[in-house]
Amino acid sequence: MPSQPRSRCCRRFRGSGQDGAKPKLKFPETPLILAGAIGGPFCIFLLTPLRNAITLASQDPDSSALELYGAVFRGGFSNGWTGGTAPLIPSCPQWCVMGPLFHVLSAISGTVIAVFMSSMCETFITFGSQALNAQMAFNLEMELAGSDLRAPLFNKFQPVGPGATWNYVRNIVALSGIRIFSRPCQTFLAKVTGGALPQALQTFLGDFTASMGAALCSAPLNQCFNYAITNPEYIYSNSTSERLGMLVAFLSRSYFSYGPNGEFLGLTGTLLRDMGMRCAYMATLYTLFGCIERSAQALWRRCHAK
């Protein structure tokens, strides 16, 4: 009796390709690894003053963005880079996770799952160092202001702790910009301009626009993280509900305006301030890293073409 042809469903279960072949695991290219290992730490250290200003903003809802940037450099220009060396060592694997590892995971599981998995790895690698950077900047500002308030210092290799959940969710939203929404932004720009933009400029603008959107959405999450790691009461609390109540109160007094009778009046200017500062940092960081990543690939191809 002749055998029946296999259905498409059977072939689909046997592999991900149309002929049932399994997807091949492709090791990331050398320029992607170099961009992550060298370009990532460079970006992180260079933008330390912007990051430190955002940290101070989480405990200061009244100062303007310019005042916060000025506070970062109070006591000397080098003070702007306080704590900037703490993330340097972890930032090497961090950007390898966000770059080469992301591309590997994306080829296996798809872009969205790769973003979630890469963000989790990023959190485990950088939570302690980012917390320490923020705590050192906060403590220096308290010292210069004559306050006795101090945040306890975390170990820079600490994988999780108070505020780690907000760090993880923030990382998901932030990474989604350049990895998920950049391509749709580039497609939209191509349609609007009728393809008149050079490809390099179109890619740059797509990265920048997507990073701006991700920065806006992740700004409150980032401030929840900064508040959590610089507030001793939050850090030492063993109650999840108590910590959640602190964050709700923090968001409420920072971003919502109320009347004399407790009636809701609207959003405060602090929300716009924090979003603007987050955009200045994230859009610059991810766009700069995207340029480094593409430049490394272009230079590598040019060198090997000779």
Distance CA 47, CA 80 (A): 9
Buried b (16+ CB within 10 A) or exposed e, 261-281: eeeeeeebebbebbbebbbbb
Distance CA 43, CA 39 (A): 6
Least confident of 28-42, 119-133, 145-159, 238-252: 28-42
User: Is-contact 243 228, C-beta < 8 A?
Assistant: yes
Return left, alpha or beta for 30; rule: phi > 0 is left, psi -120 to 50 is alpha, else beta. alpha
pLDDT for residue 276: 93
Least confident of 55-59, 80-84, 98-102, 197-201: 98-102
3-state secondary structure of 21: coil
Of 154, 157, 160, residue with least CA distance to 120: 160
- Residue with structure tokens 């919502």? 256
Which residues touch 273 (CB under 8 Å, ≥6 apart)? Answer: 57, 64, 65
Buried b (16+ CB within 10 A) or exposed e, 213-250: bbbbbbbbbbbbbbbbbbbeebbeeeeeeebeebbeeb
User: Is-contact 222 124, C-beta < 8 A?
Assistant: no
pLDDT for residue 25: 55
Distance CA 172, CA 152 (A): 27
Q: What is the mean pLDDT of the chain?
A: 85
User: Is-contact 134 230, C-beta < 8 A?
Assistant: yes
36 or 258, which is more confident? Answer: 258
Q: What is the mean pLDDT of residues 124-129?
A: 94
Structure tokens at 168: 């993880």
Instruction: Name the fold adopted by 29-305.
Output: Mitochondrial carrier fold (1.50.40)
13 or 229, which is more confident? Answer: 229
Q: How confident is the model at residue 26 (pLDDT cuts 50, 70, 90)?
A: low
- What are the domain boundaries of the chain? 29-305
Least confident of 10-19, 143-152, 172-181, 238-247: 10-19
Q: How confident is the model at residue 28 (pLDDT cuts 50, 70, 90)?
A: low
DSSP summary character for residue 16? S
Q: What is the pTM of this model?
A: 0.79
Q: What is the mean pLDDT of residues 170-175?
A: 93
Which residues touch 264 (CB under 8 Å, ≥6 apart)? Answer: 256, 257, 258
pLDDT digits (tens, 9 = 90+) for 260-281: 888 889 999 999 999 999 988 8
Q: What is the mean pLDDT of residues 78-99?
A: 85
- Report whether pLDDT(29) > 80: no
pLDDT for residue 121: 93
Distance CA 123, CA 121 (A): 5
Least confident of 38-42, 236-240, 244-248: 38-42
